[in-house]
Amino acid sequence: MRILGIDPGIAIVGFGFIDKQGSKCVPVQYGCIQTEAHTPDEERLLHVYEAMVQLIDKYKPDAVAFEKLFFNRNVSTAMPVSQARGVLILAAHQKGLPIGEYTPMQVKQAIVGYGKAEKKQVQEMVRMFLKLQAIPKPDDVADALAVAICHAHSSTLNSKLNEVLRK
């Protein structure tokens, strides 16, 4: 199962493709989509959308996982980031991909085992889970990979629960 994890943003969209092979997660490709500051939002959104469609077409994920938006400090970025998240969801939906959504606390719980873990702890666990030489940069990329790993763990649990409930 190939999973695309996304950390939405307007300036930087982190993405990470992983393959779930049994209980292991193997990195396929990861990086970020960046848009230029002082560019009109509609141009930035179009760039984010088109870049995501190209990535989906190239790496052909089976599912997409998003980090749910949480704004506790910089509320002024909420609208543009929400718009970017919308075009990213649109890109995934148009390709017929199932979408999972996870709060930052759910991701931290899945990766570190503690929902209030520090960002550095999550990043180090992502590096260890995926057997990477270094923590992916910028932070948005590590966050996207964490979301993909969270979905891999959650999809296993959810499918087992569904099996039990069907019996």
Segment 45-73, tens digit of pLDDT: 999 999 999 999 999 999 999 988 765 66
Which of 67, 101, 139, 163 does the annotation list as catalytic? 67
Whether residue 62 lies in the annotated active site: no
34 forms bridges with which residues in the sheet?
Answer: 12
57 flagged as catalytic: no
pLDDT of residue 71: 59
**7 annotated as ligand-binding:** yes
Give me the pLDDT at residue 162, please: 46
Tell me: is residue 124 an annotated ligand-binding position: no
CA–CA–CA angle 85, 50, 154 (5° rounding): 45
Per-residue pLDDT of the chain (167 residues; tens, 9 = 90+): 999 999 999 999 999 999 999 889 999 999 999 999 999 999 999 999 999 999 999 999 999 999 887 656 666 678 888 999 999 999 999 999 999 999 999 999 999 988 888 989 999 999 999 999 999 999 999 999 999 999 998 865 555 544 555 56
- Is 62 annotated as belonging to a binding site? no
